[in-house]
Structure 1
């Protein structure tokens, strides 16, 4: 911890996240997709419906970039957007074609993840996630008190 050549903890987190984005974007380039396209697809697939306003990716892209991601899916006929005026939300559903394409993209992402994390063991991965989760929860507690 007293290494004079190290950067702060947050720097490592941000740089790692940027590196993940660059690598995932590179592996999805031939499909015309990005990491954030994948996040939207994955959420809609896992939940059956994704809520645009609740998407994790919105923390990383601007509202216009999010609209571009959704528009690209609509143009491909991979998603259907439905406005829910009762909840002031936009619901995102994968179409039949979108669900079929999801399987192909999910396989690419699975291989990408295996290559990304091949330099660490499963135990190291789990330990890192555990440490980050504890730190996040602790900081959220400190922020709310």
Structure 2
């Protein structure tokens, strides 16, 4: 639905969300290609960096709309096979090699974010996130 008073030719918000998601995914997949990782690898690695570990089930609950559990487990298996992460009871954490590679990937990621956000102010970004959060809240009310 397009709100009344919207400029002529404006598409519904869902179109912009889907288009932005597809372009962001392709943009970062291209940047991560040199490390042979995907956006989903990045999500796992960032979670480990933030928390010191990752629990597959808990992480999947946070990103379940992006990736199926089987694929997430495949990402974990891939990172294990490459020696980037290691088991830690029911969780996984970085190996020394994995932490160094994560730091390298982070530098690439930060360059990409700067390019993606060029010309967008903090206020514009925050306003967009606030609107999207309100939409999510409105749609989650039952």
TM-score, structure 1 as length reference: 0.82
Of Structure 1 and Structure 2, which has the larger fraction of its residues in strand?
A: 1
- C-alpha displacement of 1:58: 4.0
Aligned length: 136
Which sections of structure 2, spanning at least 5 residues, go unmatched?
none
Distance (Å, rounded) in 2 between the aligned partners of 1:92 and 1:58: 19
CA distance in 2, matches of 1:3, 1:123: 22
1:50 aligns to what SS in structure 2? coil
Whole-angstrom CA distance in 2 between matches of 1:139 and 1:60: 18
Specify the alignment match of 1:74 in structure 2: 80
Identify the match of residue 68 of structure 2 among 52, 57, 62. 62
After superposing on structure 2, the runs of 4+ consecutive aligned residues of structure 1 that deviate more than 6 Å are: none
Structure-1 separation of matches of 2:97 and 2:64 = 24
Supply the RMSD in Å over aligned alpha carbons. 1.9
1:122 is aligned to 122
Which residues of structure 1 form unaligned runs of 5+? 85-90
